[in-house]
Structure formats: C-alpha cells, structure tokens
Amino acid sequence: MDIKKYLYEKVKSIMSDWDEGDIYAVSFFVESNEANTYREYSNVTEFSISYNTEEDYDGAGELDEQRWNYAFWSQNEFPIISDGNEGMEILFDWYCKNGIKNIGEENGNNDYDAKHNYIGKGPVGHYELLTLASNIAKKLQNESFLKEKFKKIIPIIVHGLEYAWYDIEATKNANPHGEAKVFLKAMEINEFS
C-alpha cells in the first residue's frame, strides 16, 4: 500500500470520530526512542495523533506553555505507526523502496554547528516520517477538514518531545494558512523548544 494514502486515510478516519467540541490543537507526535524496536532495528520512529481541549486547560492563557507544550497535555494518543501495527510494516517497505537504510542509527558527528546548536535530523528514518506526517497535516488543512468538522481553525502541531528545529519547520509546513501562529508565538515566548 502507498504510505501517503495509508497515513491520510488512517489519520482522517480517527479524526472523523473525534466529537469533543472544544478541541483547540491537534498533535502529530513523531518520536524516536531507543526502546522502540521493530525487526532487528531499535530507536525506531513512531507516529501517533492526539488533541487537547479547552476543558483540559481551563484558564490557561492563550500563550501559556501549559496550553501548548505537549508535556502538559492529556496525551490521549491514537497510534498510526507503532510496533506491531500494519503501519510500521508499510513504513519499512517505504524505507526500503526509497533506499533508506540503517534505520534508527544516529550520525552524531555532523549534528551540531560551530555554536553547538543541533542541526541534525534525528535518527535515520525520523526526519523522513516527520516530513510525511507534516505533508498529511498540510493536505488536511488545505482541504479545510478540521475547520469543517469543528467549525473553527485548529492548528496541527507536528513534533517530538524536544521541539527541534525540524519540528518547527514541519509545523509551519503543516499549517499553510497560519493556523499555528499562536502556537509558534507561544513557543518563542516560553522557549520550550
């Protein structure tokens, strides 16, 4: 199966079942972890989606870190690609077809610039899945899927736990009409990247 079609259909199907009216943000959580294993690989990247509601953070200000940092969210995750599900098999087939090898390995040598800022792309496979997730989010935003379902603009935040530079770029890409501008401003103010 085509990975883009699989991701789009799986994500849209799960989100179609969400019925909470006070959702204010959607998470596309793309995270690698050495405990994540598949076949003979470790440090495999997984992908899940979730959301946060106004009720979860009643009283949090528009730019408060508690409202936007995933560490404070309920983390009611719906797995899209995880160990043991068909999504992981489809992802690994996609890796193979695209010549992506050494899944989970980290370069380390060239991951920091002269000022010691992280410029790497995470373990092999992470950036690639992050990009796929970001493009699926962008497609949903361009179709106004969330706006039509929830009758309001809702950002899709594409991220891991650390909010690396590539997470910010993926979130900007995922929200082509400025849907994530409040989130991006909150990140800048609260410096939780």
pLDDT at 46: 96
Alpha helices per DSSP H over 98-177: 126-142, 145-150, 165-174
The number of beta carbons lying within 10 Å of the beta carbon of residue 84 is 9
pLDDT at 84: 78
Q: For residue range 66-93, what is the model confidence (pLDDT) as tens digits? A: 999 999 998 899 999 998 799 999 999 9
The whole-angstrom separation of Cα 5 and Cα 173 is 19
The whole-angstrom separation of Cα 173 and Cα 144 is 15
pLDDT at 63: 93
Positions of the chain with pLDDT under 50: none
Full-model pTM: 0.92
SS3 123: coil
- Residue 176 carries which DSSP code? T
The whole-angstrom separation of Cα 60 and Cα 192 is 16
